[in-house]
Amino acid sequence: MEKHHSPHKKFVEVKQAADKACVVLDGEWTVEHAGAVERDIEQAANELDDRPFEIASGQIEKLDTSGAFLLKKLLRKEEPPSLTDSQRALLEFLPAFSEYSPHAKETRPAYVVLFTRVGEMTFAALDFLLAIFVFIGRISFRFVRNFHDPHRFRLPSIVRHIEETALRALPLIGLLAVLISMVITYQGAVQLRKFGAATYTIDLTVISLLREMAVLITAIMVAGRSGSAFAAEIGVMKLREEVNALRTMGLDPIEVLVVPRVIALLIALPVLTFLADVIGLIGGGLMSLSLLNISFHQYFNRVQDVADVNMFLVGMIKAPVFAFVIAVIGCYQGLSVMGSAESIGRRTTLAVVQAIFVVIMADALFSVVFSKAGL
């Protein structure tokens, strides 16, 4: 609570003179009285009305940093009053009051701001692509080098990451595969029944599931689950100086931290995609049984007529590519952490967003290529 100064005694008092006003300073210029001091300064400024004035030898009893700041505001360019040595040292230590004033922001037309922002984002994207290509080169070099010495692949670490990225993710991936196939079958049956072609609902489910939905949904879930985990784990190690400790011991962080995760995800994602195909087809069979009154035997006979090896391979070919993208981006963002825990959150978010974005772009490119190839 602010200590109230005596109502009959002011911190700043203006005494009028014939040629120049005189400002008398008094009291304790401390943080407890900062509000009253500032009010007196504003009142004195109104009375002076930009007229020249001089500072009288006041009786400033105490002066702290807040009081010195307000004294700087009052003095501007005037000479300071008679102060003790410690008070004068504190006053001289603080910068001029004008340096505290916020600088006026440069106003630029809206289109200039827009194009500037677009340019900055473009250069940031190009820098990211260059950094990712360099990172992929380092991983590839380590892969090739380790093939000449296979025990450096660290099998226990690879097995542990396969367990975390595949086995523990299987229930979630299986549930999503069933739900997605049920939704596709239901929506297809509702629309195709209008044209008397409800039987083709099975074709729609099989084609969309094997070619696109199983691998895409699995990759997105793995990006959100494993990609974020890679970035967070390596990021925490980076903040704890564990990555630097590895370098001090003569170990390459790419070999110890990145390569096992990349290999594990290259194995895990195709396996999860295959299981998502199988579980999704079972979910489609359940919906066909309830909506179309088609038995499981009839359903799987139709699946055999519609599906072929090329359709299955189209989805499976995408899986290792998506896995490599997710693992590389997650590990890269983890190794890019620096500074504080906030950096971990930001890099983890970037890992998920960038991985999903690149996966969807890669899926679109695959669709165009396979279409041109007649697959």
How many Cβ atoms sit within 10 Å of the Cβ of residue 114? Answer: 11
**169, 223 contact by CB (below 8 A):** no
Element (H, E) at 61: strand 59-63
- pLDDT tens-digit profile of 281-316? 888 888 888 877 778 888 888 888 887 888 888 888
| Highest-pLDDT range among 59-73, 181-195, 221-235 | 221-235
CA angle 188, 193, 195 (to 5 degrees): 110
Identity of the residue numbered 12:
V
Question: Which pLDDT value is given to residue 206?
Answer: 86
- The predicted-structure confidence for 5-55, as pLDDT tens digits, reads as follows 444 467 777 776 656 667 777 777 777 777 777 777 777 777 766 666 666
Question: Which residues face 60 on adjacent strands?
Answer: 27
Percent of the chain with pLDDT over 90: 14
Question: 65-75 and 34-48 are packed helices; what angle lies between their axes, rounded to 10 degrees?
Answer: 0
pLDDT above 90: residue 356? yes
pLDDT of residue 142: 87
d(C-alpha 77, C-alpha 79), whole Å: 7
> Both tokens of residue 201?
């609902």
Pair 86, 188 in one domain: no
The pLDDT assigned to 266 comes to 92
Average pLDDT, the chain: 81
The gap between the terminal CA atoms of the chain, to the nearest Å, is 78
Position 52 in a domain: yes
Would you say residue 323 has pLDDT above 90? yes
d(CA 312, CA 209): 9
Predicted pLDDT of residue 103: 52
Q: What is the mean pLDDT of residues 346-351?
A: 89
CATH code at position 77: 3.30.750
Q: Which of 67, 100, 133 is the last residue of a domain?
A: 100
pTM over 0.75: no
**Contact residues for 75 (Cβ-Cβ < 8 A; gap 6+):** 55, 97
pLDDT digits (tens, 9 = 90+) for 216-247: 999 999 998 888 999 998 988 888 888 888 88
Question: What total number of domains does the chain contain?
Answer: 2
168 lies in the same domain as 316: yes
Q: Grade residue 320 by pLDDT with cuts at 50, 70 and 90.
A: very high
> What is the domain extent for residue 210?
149-372
Residues 307 and 180 reside in one and the same domain: yes
pLDDT of residue 105 exceeding 60, the answer is no
